[in-house]
């Protein structure tokens, strides 16, 4: 945890570069710790899961900007009685989907789950997440190197941190 905190902006620039290189199939050897999903590395994105803020987590995971899209269909309940088990699913009509991630804005750590979608796997995932309180759930779909999102507010009557 004592690794540098200073050079964040530069590192992000480097990461974006690394992601681009990886897309060209040249690998990203000098940046083995690169969290960006676009690099298609097999590593668990530990750092992104530790970040509290949603925007930071998106940046750490993807390092790119997100645009809302009506082609991403997020299915979540209006009201969740039990925040410990909120069924959430996403489907999309977008092509060339490589990953789907779920963020819960006001959870202690915003990134909840991230799924890699290899070629031949349909771009649809259903899972169950914990929600600490009423907040926005965002699904991000990475398709053809770009990020698309859908957001929905879920009202939580009993928070999910108590298990």
Partner 1 sequence: MASSIRVRSTSNGDITEVQALIQHPMDTGLVKDSKGEVIPAHFIQQLKFECNGKDVFVADWGTAVSKDPYVKFSFKGAKKGDDLKISWTDNKGGSDTTTAKIA
Instruction: State the residues that interact with partner 1 by CB under 8 A.
Output: 42, 44-46, 49, 84-86, 89, 104, 107-109, 111-118, 120-122, 124-131, 160-163
Cα 47 to Cα 61: distance, rounded to the nearest angstrom: 8
Least distance from C-beta 135 to partner 1, angstroms?
11
Chain-centroid distance, C-alpha 108: 15
Considering the complex, state which of residue 53 and residue 121 has its C-beta at the smaller distance from partner 1.
121
Least distance from C-beta 23 to partner 1, angstroms?
18
Considering the complex, state which of residue 8 and residue 82 has its C-beta at the smaller distance from partner 1.
82
Cα 62 to Cα 32: distance, rounded to the nearest angstrom: 15
Least distance from C-beta 44 to partner 1, angstroms?
5
Considering the complex, state which of residue 15 and residue 35 has its C-beta at the smaller distance from partner 1.
35
Using DSSP bridges, classify how beta strands 79-82 and 86-92 pair: parallel, antiparallel or unpaired.
unpaired
The dihedrals phi and psi of 160, each to the nearest 5 degrees, come to -100, 5
Considering the complex, state which of residue 13 and residue 85 has its C-beta at the smaller distance from partner 1.
85
Least distance from C-beta 12 to partner 1, angstroms?
20
Cα 142 to Cα 63: distance, rounded to the nearest angstrom: 12
Distances 141 to 27, 66, 114, 123, 159 between C-alpha atoms, Å:
23, 9, 10, 9, 27
Considering the complex, state which of residue 131 and residue 150 has its C-beta at the smaller distance from partner 1.
131
Least distance from C-beta 115 to partner 1, angstroms?
5
Q: What is the sign of the dihedral through the CA atoms of 93, 138, 129 and 47? A: positive
């Amino acid at each position: 945890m004592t690794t540098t905190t200073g050079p964040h902006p530069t590192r992000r620039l480097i990461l974006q570069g690394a992601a681009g290189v990886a897309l060209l199939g040249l690998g990203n050897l000098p940046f083995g710790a690169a969290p960006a999903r676009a690099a298609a590395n097999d590593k668990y994105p530990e750092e992104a899961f530790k970040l509290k803020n949603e925007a930071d987590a998106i940046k750490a995971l993807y390092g790119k900007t997100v645009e809302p899209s009506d082609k991403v269909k997020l299915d979540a309940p209006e009201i969740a009685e039990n925040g410990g088990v909120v069924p959430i699913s996403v489907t999309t009509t977008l092509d060339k989907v490589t990953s789907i991630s779920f963020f819960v804005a006001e959870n202690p750590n915003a990134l909840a789950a991230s799924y890699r979608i290899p070629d031949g796997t349909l771009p649809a995932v259903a899972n169950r997440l914990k929600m600490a309180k009423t907040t926005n759930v965002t699904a991000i779909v990475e398709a053809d190197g770009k990020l698309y999102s859908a957001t929905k507010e879920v009202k939580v009557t009993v928070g999910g941190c108590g298990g």
